[in-house]
């Protein structure tokens, strides 16, 4: 697998390559991504209308200035870290989503979720009404062209597996929560943690 264009084969490679010392906080990895991608990373909880559906997923939205990750704030910190790790995996591997408006791409999510969003919810997710209208049109066209109703209509199965593997490697090295905003090196639990990872 590749992380920002560099081949990474195992957790040791990832630890050596990262400009951070594990265990990492979520904000540590976000900081690293911001440096590499030259875009801000922002976590945003799903609105209640989405969480009420009990759909378990995150969503990566790329805009020209930021990488927005929607997550479930009613999940445990550990679950949220693993979800963040998965989306970080897509970013680090350079997976591109579906461009739904000028300069705005969305990553994978269930067709049932994205396709059923009201225009107001899409506006909240994408940041503008015009982007939401454009997204609705693009999603409908994409789904009818591809004829797919699977969970991940915009990433290939291979990309999903790669993001899952890399995301898990990142996730097991993270501590804290998505809402901790203490900057790099916020969560440290000692060198023993890294040794346990390598065993």
Q: Where are the domains of the chain?
A: 2-107+156-180
- Name the residue among 98, 95, 101, 50 with its Cα closest to residue 71: 50
State how far Cα 26 lies from the chain centre.
12
User: Token digits for 58?
Assistant: 């995150």
Residue-level pLDDT at 12? 80
Is it true that the peptide bond before 91 is cis, omega within 30 degrees of 0? Answer: no
Residue-level pLDDT at 51? 66
- Helices and strands in the chain: count of H runs, count of E runs: 9, 9
Residue-level pLDDT at 182? 46
Show the CA angle centred on residue 108, arms to residues 18 and 32, nearest 5°: 15
Q: Tally Cβ neighbours within 10 Å of residue 30.
A: 24
Per-residue pLDDT of the chain (199 residues; tens, 9 = 90+): 788 888 888 778 888 888 888 888 899 999 999 999 999 999 988 877 676 666 667 888 888 889 989 888 888 999 899 989 999 998 998 887 767 777 778 776 555 566 667 777 777 787 778 877 877 777 666 666 554 444 445 677 788 888 888 888 888 888 888 887 644 443 333 344 444 444 4
State how far Cα 146 lies from the chain centre.
23
């Amino acid at each position: 697998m590749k992380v920002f264009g560099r081949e990474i084969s195992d957790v040791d490679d990832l630890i050596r390559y990262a400009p951070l010392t594990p265990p990492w906080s979520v904000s540590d990895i976000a900081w690293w991504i911001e440096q590499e991608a030259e875009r801000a990373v922002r976590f945003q909880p799903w609105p209640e209308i989405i969480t009420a559906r009990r759909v378990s997923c995150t969503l990566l939205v790329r805009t020209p200035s930021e990488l927005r990750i929607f997550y479930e704030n009613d999940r445990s910190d550990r679950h949220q870290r693993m979800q963040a790790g998965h989306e970080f995996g897509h970013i680090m591997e350079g997976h591109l989503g579906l461009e739904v408006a000028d300069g705005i791409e969305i990553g994978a999510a269930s067709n049932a979720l994205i396709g059923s969003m009201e225009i107001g919810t899409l506006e909240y997710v994408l940041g503008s009404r015009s982007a939401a209208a454009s997204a609705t049109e693009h999603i409908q066209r994409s789904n009818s062209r591809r004829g797919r109703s699977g969970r991940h209509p915009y990433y290939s199965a291979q990309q999903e597996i790669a993001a899952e593997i890399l995301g898990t490697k990142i996730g097991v090295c993270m501590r804290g929560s998505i809402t901790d905003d203490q900057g790099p090196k916020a969560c440290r639990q000692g060198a023993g943690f890294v040794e346990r990872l390598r065993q």
